[in-house]
Structure 1
Amino acid sequence: MALTFAATPRSAAPAGHRRPQSGRRALSRHLTGWAFAGPATLIVVGLSLFPAVWAFFISRAKWNGIAPATQVGWQNYQRLAGDPDMAAAAQHTLLLTALFVPASIVIGILVAIALNQKIRLIGFYRTCIFVPYVASAAATGILAGFVFNPQFGAANEILRNLGIPAQQFLESPGQAMYIICIIALWGEIGFTAVIYLAALQDIPKELIEAARTDGASPWRIFLHVTLPELRPVTVFTAIWQTITALQLFDLIYTTTRGGPLNSTQTVVYYIYELAFQTQRLGYGAAAAYLLFAVTLLLSALVIWYGRRRGTEAF
């Protein structure tokens, strides 16, 4: 009598026998990943959250960094509301932001369109545009100080050759902030150009070809096809450049140090003077938290406006 045994394939094994092994593998992968990323994450979180929380407690105290702190509640914030120096610094910061952000977006789009063409040495041109962004902002400020020097700077030399009177540039209260904006644009255009260049290359070519087939001119294609496709990138760039303008410090420190006559004293530089030059750490921390609140509010408004217009950038 022959006995027949039915072989059970491996795939027919009960699912309960496989789940523990797959669960262990997944757990092992997660633990391995956190073993690599965990220490760095703890360091980053510790170096960002702990100072922020500590600065909030400092902002509610009167402290010079040496003597014991005296708790004053919200008095530092109340004093900021009536501080004329803080108001002047806020005006300078708003002027810089209003000049810098739109100009960086417009110039970034134009440069990105130029770099998106199929011409010889295009990789070299793209590298040249991005180099100023990679360079240190402090080094850029020091170099700009020589370029815009009223006595022997290259900028005035060019103006003299063109028959234009020499200018004071960074030594003029009426010109210094505009020169700071030009220097900041020089260093940041590479970033916006690269962002917009990547966005231009992601636009479906079928849309542009369809518009050309319908007889649309290059200007209409740019206005009705390219720009709408760039809206999410524009929202992101506007927020990023706004934060950059509000937190601009290194260029001002290496060029004018808030002068002349405090005409380039921004909020960040005013906070630096309060905290590290006059040792008013509590008052400076309160000003820093006020700047953080304004930055957060502006970013939220831009994101809300973008989503209301149907632009999802985040």
Structure 2
Amino acid sequence: MAITFAATPRTRPDVAARPRGRLGRSARRNVTGWAFAGPATLIVVGLSLFPAVWAFFISRTKWNGIAPAVDVGWRNYQRIVQDPDAIAAARHTLVLTLLFVPASILLGMLIAVALNQRIRLIGFYRTCIFVPYVASAAATGILASFVFNPQFGAANEALRRLGLPAQQFLESPGQALLVVCVIALWGEVGFTAVVYLAALQDIPPDLVEAATVDGAGRWRVFRHIILPELRPVTVFVAIWQTITAMQLFDLIYTTTRGGPMNSTQTVVYYIYELAFQTQRLGYGAAVAYLLFAVTMLLTVGVIWYSRRRGSEVF
């Protein structure tokens, strides 16, 4: 009598252990990655979130940094709308933003189009445009103070050679804010130009060639092909430059210090005066939080509008 044994299926050890081994390797990679990035992440988050939360509690107090803080509730925020200095600083910031943001977008786009051409020494030209952006803003402000000096500045010397009257520039209440805007443009337009240049080089050449073959001129190609492709970049640049204009401090500190006659006192410089010159830390923190809220609302509004128009940026 023949005895037969049913063959039982055997599981290969390597197949059964493979998912667990992959999971273990993935966990080890995650632990290793967080071991390197974790301490730095904790430091960055701690230095960002803790001061922001602490500043909110300070904004609800009356405190000079030395004596015990006195809780005043929302009184500091209510005083902002009745403070003529805060209203004037907000008006100066609004004017600076309305001058700076469109000019930086337009100049950056035009410079990027020029730097996108195939000409000799194009790398040198691109470097020259970007150097003012990476230069220290404090050094830029100090240099601009000499250039626009009414007595011996290079700007007035150029006007005299052209037969034009000398100007007061940074010492004139009616001209100082405009001159600050020009200085800020000189330092920031390089960033805008580089961003637009990268976007221009990312446009598919087939679109431009097809439009050219169909008989479209340069202006029509730029208007109907290039501009729509640059729309997401324009939204990003508009948000970035708006935040830059609303938080402009270093140029004002090194050139006018809010003068003359507080004509260049922006919201950020007003916060600096409240907190570090008059020791009104609670009220200064309240103004800073209001500036943060306005900046956040503007950013969200621009992103929402761009998405309604079909420009996905963030």
- The 1-side partners of 2:29 and 2:161 are apart by 67
Displacement after TM superposition at 1:16 (Å): 3.2
Displacement after TM superposition at 1:81 (Å): 1.2
**Secondary structure of the structure 2 residue equivalent to 1:299:** helix
Could you list the per-position Cα deviations for residues 37-77 of structure 1 after superposition, in whole angstroms to 9, with x for gaps in the alignment? 11111111000000000000000000000000000000000
Q: In the TM superposition, what are the counterparts of 1:143-158 in structure 2 within 5 Å?
A: 143-158=143-158
Displacement after TM superposition at 1:13 (Å): 5.6
- The 2-side partners of 1:217 and 1:44 are apart by 51
- Which residue number corresponds to residue 55 of structure 1? 55
- The 2-side partners of 1:277 and 1:191 are apart by 33
- Which residue number corresponds to residue 172 of structure 1? 172
- Which residue number corresponds to residue 212 of structure 2? 212
Could you list the per-position Cα deviations for residues 228-254 of structure 1 after superposition, in whole angstroms to 9, with x for gaps in the alignment? 000000000000000000000000000
- Which residue number corresponds to residue 5 of structure 2? none
- Which residue number corresponds to residue 286 of structure 1? 286
Q: In the TM superposition, what are the counterparts of 1:290-301 in structure 2 within 5 Å?
A: 290-301=290-301
Displacement after TM superposition at 1:35 (Å): 1.0
Q: Name the amino acid aligned to 2:54.
A: W
- The 2-side partners of 1:154 and 1:107 are apart by 23
**Secondary structure of the structure 2 residue equivalent to 1:118:** coil
Q: 4+ runs of 1 displaced by more than 3 Å?
A: 12-16
Could you list the per-position Cα deviations for residues 276-307 of structure 1 after superposition, in whole angstroms to 9, with x for gaps in the alignment? 00000000000000000000000001001100
Q: Are 2:103 and 1:106 equivalent residues in the alignment?
A: no
Q: In the TM superposition, what are the counterparts of 1:128-277 in structure 2 within 5 Å?
A: 128-277=128-277
**Secondary structure of the structure 1 residue equivalent to 2:95:** helix
Q: Name the amino acid aligned to 1:109.
A: M
Q: Are 2:127 and 1:89 equivalent residues in the alignment?
A: no
- Which residue number corresponds to residue 117 of structure 2? 117
- The 2-side partners of 1:212 and 1:206 are apart by 10
- Which residue number corresponds to residue 66 of structure 1? 66
**TM-score (ref. length: structure 2):** 0.96
Could you list the per-position Cα deviations for residues 138-175 of structure 1 after superposition, in whole angstroms to 9, with x for gaps in the alignment? 10000000000000000000000000000000000000
- The 2-side partners of 1:264 and 1:231 are apart by 32
- The 2-side partners of 1:20 and 1:166 are apart by 79
Point out where structure 2 has 5 or more consecutive residues left out of the alignment: 1-8
Q: Name the amino acid aligned to 1:55.
A: A
- The 2-side partners of 1:203 and 1:180 are apart by 35
- The 2-side partners of 1:250 and 1:313 are apart by 29
- Which residue number corresponds to residue 5 of structure 1? none
Could you list the per-position Cα deviations for residues 105-157 of structure 1 after superposition, in whole angstroms to 9, with x for gaps in the alignment? 00000000111111111111111100000000010000000000000000000
- The 2-side partners of 1:15 and 1:159 are apart by 83
Displacement after TM superposition at 1:36 (Å): 1.1
Q: Name the amino acid aligned to 2:59.
A: S
- Which residue number corresponds to residue 30 of structure 2? 30
Number of residue equivalences: 306
**Secondary structure of the structure 1 residue equivalent to 2:310:** coil
- Which residue number corresponds to residue 78 of structure 2? 78
Q: Name the amino acid aligned to 1:80.
A: I
Q: Name the amino acid aligned to 2:276.
A: F
**TM-score (ref. length: structure 1):** 0.96
Could you list the per-position Cα deviations for residues 71-92 of structure 1 after superposition, in whole angstroms to 9, with x for gaps in the alignment? 0000000001111100000000
Q: Name the amino acid aligned to 1:310.
A: G
Q: Name the amino acid aligned to 1:191.
A: F
